[in-house]
Chains A and B, each alone.
Chain A
Amino acid sequence: MTSILVPQLGNEITEAEVTEWLVGEGDEVKEGDLVVVITTTKMAMEIEAPASGKLTKLSAEEGDLVEVGAVLGEIG
């Protein structure tokens, strides 16, 4: 099981908003696929799948605010 995490976003940024999921729960993803877009006050960022497999769980919904390091979803 691999977690999709909110990455470090620069010195002053501690949180981001989940803007858009590009895949849904249960979808198969390949490592490197774009899975979710998050937005900080400064920029929008596309997050890639850290591993191949099935997206077993979405831990944050569109519109949620998430902290740096938080889990966005799990790939099983």
Chain B
Amino acid sequence: MPKEIPVEPAAALARAKVTFSDIPVCDYDEPIAEERERRGDANLREILRHMLLVREFETMLASYKSTGAYRGIEFAYKGPAHLSIGQEGAAVGAALALSPDDHIFGSHRSHGEFIAKGLSAIATLDETALDAIMDEHQHGALRDTVKAHLGGDGKVLAENFLLLGVLAEIFMRANGFNGGMGGSMHAFFPPFGAYPNNALVSGSSAIATGAALYKKLADKPGIAVANIGDGATGCGVTWEAMNFAAMAQYDTLWSDPRGGRPPVLFFCNNNFYGMGGQTSGETMGWERLSRLGAGVNPEQMHAETVDGTNPLAVADAVARKRELLLEGKGPALLDVQCYRSTGHSTTDANAYRSRDELKAWAEHDPIVKFAATLTAAGVMSEAEVDAMRESVGDTIGAVTRAAVDPAIAPIVDVPNDPTLIGDLMFNHEAIDLPEAEVPVLKPPAQVANFKSIGRKARFGLDDEGRPLSGMRAITLRDGLTEAVLHHMLHDESLIAYGEDVREWGGAYGVYRGLSDIFPHQRLFNAPISEAAIVSTAVGYAMEGGRALVELMYTDFLGRAGDEVFNQMAKWQGMSAGQLKVPVVLRLSVGSKYGAQHSQDWSAFVTHVPGLKVVYPATPYDAKGLLASALSSNDPVVFFESQRIYDQVEVFRAEGVPSEYFRIPLGQPDIKRLGNDVTVLTIGPSLYPAMAAAEELATQGIETEVIDARTLVPFDYDPVLSSVKKTGHLVVVTEAAERGSFAMTLSANVARFGFSDLKAPPRVLGSPNWIVPGAEMESTFFPQAHDIVDLVTTEFFPARRANRRGVRSWDDIDLARRAL
């Protein structure tokens, strides 16, 4: 189907002007009398108290980093302390305008935001709700500890719970909010709307956008906030996320009941510096950060620059943006100016700024200014301010005394349970799919591609054993399509997106026909933003959705490196299993187009803990394994080889079932039996291995071919049993040999099957140089004759055949030459 929106030359080429509207800068001008009227004096005093709590909490951390003690309590804190001293007006002001249903996603410098959000949630929630939250978390264990050692009732208890939970987490103790697996830069507590902080600059921008997308599609209350710095505006993913949140299609093409754009606020804590790089005047060209919005959409992201030294100005701006977001008019951008008066970290020598600058900003310290405003207006006396300071100090002192004490905040006991951390990486859960089908635009039976699939043979060989063409029998592509169709039909929380997935049906046609069945909000064309594609999926999943996303070529993985390796892979572990990240990332491995479009990068993803990794090679396996991946509550990376999308089923005489089925992840599959040599293959290497096995059989060598199918998890038993019988192993992969997963497989079989091996196991992969063009590929990717050459020359030299491949090189020599 062609696009619904025509591109009209007359409109595109007509003479016109693009205009911009003015961007407000520090526009807040509310008399304090009005604020007293609106908020009440008690609440204004609470704003000061919250800022003081954040300040004292971070002062305590600073004191540990510089002196090893705070209020006489000694402790060696070894973790990071990116403090936001001077920026409390931004954190507390924002929290004031947010409800517990609004979810904030932070940065490396987000202790203040977390605490402020928690305090604001505690102020908002009634005691029954707070009790329920504390009762549920760790089955009430943290609440009981707080009660026993810090005391308090109602909201006081809840505040102590918040402060001990976050401090124990910063100290990476077992009863920290995230079981000690997050720490200073990653702490979070969803019941208060405080979602993960992120050690990667701008890591939260696309995650928050995905969270907002979930709120929109699942019609959940509240907004998502990406708390990022000014330096973060130099990160590609920030731009990708802002655009992703602003795509026109939400208005022009989507038909979800709520409508509008994802409610996400990009809240830039603009402290004018990265670590030492100055954003205004040195590393960025924007001059005013709020200018960025004008490049994103006609609404200019409703961007404003705000005086972040005044919590009331921040609260006012956030409240106004929040309203726009809830009306579907997002995304919004706030440039919140809040000078950081201490170092980036406690090792910061402050060499990059002058004493005069620091002194000038000291006069704009948010706490000093706000206390002065309140006393001048008669909201409280100076003596009351002092008493408040003292009481806050006592609170933080008591919490600190508890947190440093291993009897109260126990150290994570890894020696007692050596795989404790490992056990938190995966939940190994699979969902059940409801019987009922979701509403569709058109039933699959009426869609051309599914009619065509319906006419195909389910087995790929004819009566004489000759392969049928992909037009006449189910292909690997069709197997994938059927699995996706079934999940999309039965799981409304699943959305699928990537580049060109609708009209093209994905660059290789795996989604062909699906755009006739599913509306845009279930299946949509994403911008060419690989980082945002992956990280929005992570945010979407963290909130409770499920996402199927894809990169057109595995070679583009680098563009989503952080998003796959740090975000998708790690949040289950860093949340001690509290978060689930059911994301399936399809990666298509290319061929024929040379060095930047043909690489098998499975080694990168298998290397990073936290990802399950699948690489099927047959239509049956592709369908059953993708069904398992889509049912999994763990993140899965799913490799597909472009060379075998048209491959028909040649192994399973019963054919590929047209019904839905799952193949458990982790089971290698014996594709051919033999007694003399075991060939373990990864992905499409199965086919040259089968051809080699046929040829070796003519020489009297019987090959057992095992298809790895899944790389993580991996069950070694079938391979070890095979090697027990054959005594020989070759692992074949299209990945470059050095550092490949095949090397891991080979090393482990050498170790566990040592006594059964008659020769060292061999890896046959691609050489450690660039993938050449189509006509040279047969000299590069392992071919059947390369496998035959290897087996005959190395394992059965007596039956030596003529070598036909080009691999006569000396690997030791190549290594010396960086190859």
Contacts and interface: CB of A to CB of B under 8 A. Distances in A.
| A and B interact | yes
A16 interface: yes
Contact of B448 (A14, A16, A19, A41): A19
B477 interface: yes
A71 interface: no
Given A41-B645, A42-B509, A63-B455, A15 B471 contact: yes
B756 interface: no
Contacts of B472: 65
B451 A41 contact: no
Contact of B471 (A17, A20, A44): A17
A37 interface: yes
B512 interface: yes
A44 B447 CA distance: 13
Interface in A14-45: 14-17, 19-20, 37, 39-44
B477 A41 contact: yes
B590 to A, nearest CB: 14
Contacts of B452: 17, 19, 39, 63
Interface string B620-658: 000000000000000000000000011000000000000
Nearest to B646: A41
Interface string A38-76: 011111100000000000000000010100000000000
A19 B508 CA distance: 18
B470 interface: yes
Contacts of A39: 448-449, 452
Contacts of A41: 470-471, 475, 477, 509, 645-646
Interface string B447-480: 0110110010000000000000111100101000
Contacts of B470: 41
A17 B509 CA distance: 15
B509 A37 contact: no
Interface string B511-536: 01000000000000000000000000
A72 to B, nearest CB: 16
B451 A40 contact: no
B1 to A, nearest CB: 10
A20 B477 CA distance: 21
B471 A40 contact: yes
B708 to A, nearest CB: 26
Interface residues of B, number: 16
A16 B477 CA distance: 16
A45 to B, nearest CB: 12
A37 B475 contact: no
B471 A65 contact: yes
Chain A contact residues (Cβ within 8 angstroms of B): what range? 10 to 19
Contacts of A40: 471
B469 A15 contact: yes
A41 to B, nearest CB: 4
Nearest to A16: B471
A48 B448 CA distance: 19
A20 B469 CA distance: 21
A23 B819 CA distance: 60
Contacts of A15: 469, 471
Residue among A17, A19, A37 with max Cβ neighbours from chain B (10 Å): A17
B503 to A, nearest CB: 10
Contacts of A65: 471-472
Residue among A14, A37, A42 with max Cβ neighbours from chain B (10 Å): A42
A39 B452 CA distance: 9
Contacts of A19: 448, 452
B471 A63 contact: no
Interface in B248-287: none
B448 A37 contact: yes
A63 B455 CA distance: 8
A71 B424 CA distance: 62
Nearest to B512: A44
Contacts of B646: 41
B448 A20 contact: yes
Contacts of B512: 44
Nearest to A40: B471
Nearest to B452: A17
Contacts of B508: 42
Contacts of B509: 41-43
B684 to A, nearest CB: 16
A63 B451 contact: yes
Interface in B273-327: none
Nearest to B469: A15
A15 B449 CA distance: 15
Nearest to B1: A44
B446 to A, nearest CB: 11
A44 B516 CA distance: 14
Contacts of B455: 63
A43 B512 CA distance: 9
Interface string B384-418: 00000000000000000000000000000000000
B52 to A, nearest CB: 65
Contacts of B449: 39
Nearest to B449: A39
Nearest to A46: B2
Residue among B452, B471, B509, B512 with max Cβ neighbours from chain A (10 Å): B471
A13 B471 CA distance: 10
A3 B289 CA distance: 63
Contacts of B645: 41
B29 to A, nearest CB: 60
A41 B468 CA distance: 13
B448 to A, nearest CB: 4
Nearest to A19: B448
A19 B505 CA distance: 16
A39 B455 CA distance: 14
A63 B512 CA distance: 16
A53 to B, nearest CB: 26
15 contacts: A14-B469, A16-B471, A19-B448, A19-B452, A20-B448, A39-B448, A41-B470, A41-B477, A41-B509, A41-B645, A41-B646, A42-B508, A43-B509, A63-B455, A65-B471
Nearest 6 CB-CB pairs, A to B? Answer: A41-B470, A19-B448, A41-B646, A15-B471, A17-B452, A65-B471
Given A37-B448, A42-B508, 18 more contacts: A14-B469, A15-B471, A16-B471, A17-B471, A19-B448, A19-B452, A39-B449, A39-B452, A41-B470, A41-B477, A41-B509, A41-B645, A42-B509, A43-B509, A44-B512, A63-B452, A63-B455, A65-B472
